[in-house]
Amino acid sequence: MTTLQALRPVMPILISASLMLTLSFGIRQSMGLYMPAVTSDIAVTITDFTAAIALQNLVWGFCQPVAGIAADKWGFRPVMLFGALCFVLGMITFSAANGVLMVLFGAGICVGVGMACASFAMTLSVTSRLVPVSVRSTALGIVSAAGSIGAMITAPYAQYLEGALDWRLSLIGLAILSAFIVPAAWIAGRVDKEAPLELSSDNSDKLPAGAAIKGAFKNPSFVVMTMAYFVCGMQLVFLTTHLPSYLQICGMDPMLGASAIGIIGGFNILGSLFFGWAGSRWNKQALLGIIYCCRSIVLAWYFILPPTASTTILFAALMGFLWLGVSPLVAGSVIEMFGLRWQAMLQGFAFFSHQFGSFLGAFGGGWLFDKFGSYDVALQLGIGMGLTAGTIQIIFALIRPPRSPIRT
């Protein structure tokens, strides 16, 4: 049976889940584009703005395990609908902001809750529930690629509206886009009836939430993956938050920053598809380590050179290929170790580490820039930590392949 034949019966739900991910991730990836305009128009500094993005990532990470528990108790549909409404509220509030508190509430808290309830973890959990094991890793890669389409389209769209109108009307345009998350979440929520969970005795499915969490943090493979995931978040959110500002400081065309984020989104598609396919054939956690090391090398190459349009486009393409490939690999690793029932919750705990790294990437990058007047120190830290985390992840994955230690 081909992958397409295996997925055809559940295609409407998968398409809706992919659309939800496309919109939520694309909007969230575009936040950094507004930093120059917002900080020059209202009483918000670069540190304030990056604090809002950092808060968004912390809220997202903190709420992700809670959203996973809620989905197990009440179903995916109500959780995803709540997240969709939070997204709409966040965009409207951000567009009306006249000071730091509204930016923190809209772009920080509301978007963070929306991402926890209506983005990656929920989408990948819905996908895992629906598809056969034989095509699961590939399907996770395909759905992860959908999030990349959002970044590829939304960032240039937002930048165009900001240039043609202003940043407030551009955010209203994103608020209109976010409203489409609501029907997408409703249709994707059909998974609650279409694919009820069958509990397995070979993993943590029959355990209560507390016992599943305890077992996960006793699993060395899960702990190492979670710690390395911290560096992943730090590197990526540093780029999405600060790359447009960095290019503007270097005197580049503001549209180049939006184009770079869009190119990252485009090559995310290829990377997600490739690593989803690769994860069904090779050690998922070793592949994660390879991604972290390669990202760090690409970062070092780009920021050593003076930026040009050509090097920026090539950099965005390389980083895009190495960007979202982690999602199907982490999701697949969690399922292999612990089963389907607590996938969203346990993936959420790993993701909290990612988001704490995101907090440091966004806020720490801004703080270090304000302190030293350049991004050099932030880049040196990010590159060094990425190489270290990637190397440890590869060595541990090869010496001690992940296994499921939980039996009932």
Sort 404 into a burial class: Cβ within 10 Å, 0-12 / 13-18 / 19+.
Answer: middle
| pLDDT for position 203 | 58
What is the per-residue pLDDT across 219-260, written as a single tens digit (0 to 9) for each?
A: 888 888 888 888 888 877 777 667 776 777 777 776 776 677
| pLDDT for position 408 | 37
List the CATH code of the domain at 13-196+203-399.
1.20.1250.20
Tell me the backbone φ, ψ of residue 166, rounded to 5 degrees: -160, 175
How does pLDDT run along the chain (408 residues), one tens digit per residue? 455 555 666 778 888 888 888 888 888 878 777 888 888 888 778 778 878 877 887 888 888 888 888 887 888 899 999 999 999 999 999 988 888 888 899 989 999 999 999 887 888 888 877 777 777 777 777 777 776 677 677 777 887 887 778 888 988 988 998 899 999 999 988 887 776 666 555 556 667 777 888 888 888 888 888 888 888 888 777 776 677 767 777 777 767 766 777 677 778 788 878 887 888 788 888 899 899 999 899 888 888 888 788 888 888 889 888 877 787 888 888 888 887 777 777 877 888 888 788 777 777 777 777 777 767 777 778 888 888 988 988 988 888 765 544 443
| pLDDT for position 195 | 63
Matching residue, tokens 């190119």: 263
Token code pair at residue 372: 């030293």
Three-class secondary structure assignment of the chain = CCHHHHHHHHHHHHHHHHHHHHHHHHHHHCHHHHHHHHHHHCCCCHHHHHHHHHHHHHHHHHHHHHHHHHHHHHCHHHHHHHHHHHHHHHHHHHHCCCCHHHHHHHHHHHHHHHHHHCCHHHHHHHHHHHCCHHHHHHHHHHHHHHHHHHHHHHHHHHHHHHHHCCHHHHHHHHHHHHHCHHHHHHHHCCHHHHCCCCCCCCCCCCCCHHHHHHHHCCCHHHHHHHHHHHHHHHHHHHHHHHHHHHHHHCCCCHHHHHHHHHHHHHHHHHHHHHHHHHHCCCCHHHHHHHHHHHHHHHHHHHHHCCCCHHHHHHHHHHHHHCCCCHHHHHHHHHHHHHCCCCHHHHHHHHHHHHHHHHHHHHHHHHHHHHHHCCCHHHHHHHHHHHHHHHHHHHHHHHHCCCCCCCCC
What is the per-residue pLDDT across 335-349, written as a single tens digit (0 to 9) for each?
A: 888 877 777 778 778
Cα torsion 286, 287, 292, 294 to 10°: value is: 120
CB 387 within 8 A of CB 251: no
For residue 63, CA distances in Å to 49, 79, 356 come to 21, 11, 12
What is the per-residue pLDDT across 31-51, written as a single tens digit (0 to 9) for each?
A: 777 888 888 888 778 778 878
Matching residue, tokens 């995931």: 229
Domain residue limits, the chain? 13-196+203-399
| pLDDT for position 201 | 57
For residue 42, how many other CB atoms are within 10 A of its CB?
16
| pLDDT for position 404 | 47
The pTM of the full predicted model, rounded to 2 decimals, is: 0.74
Neighbouring C-alpha atoms within 13 Å toward the C-beta of 333? 33
Token code pair at residue 110: 């509301």
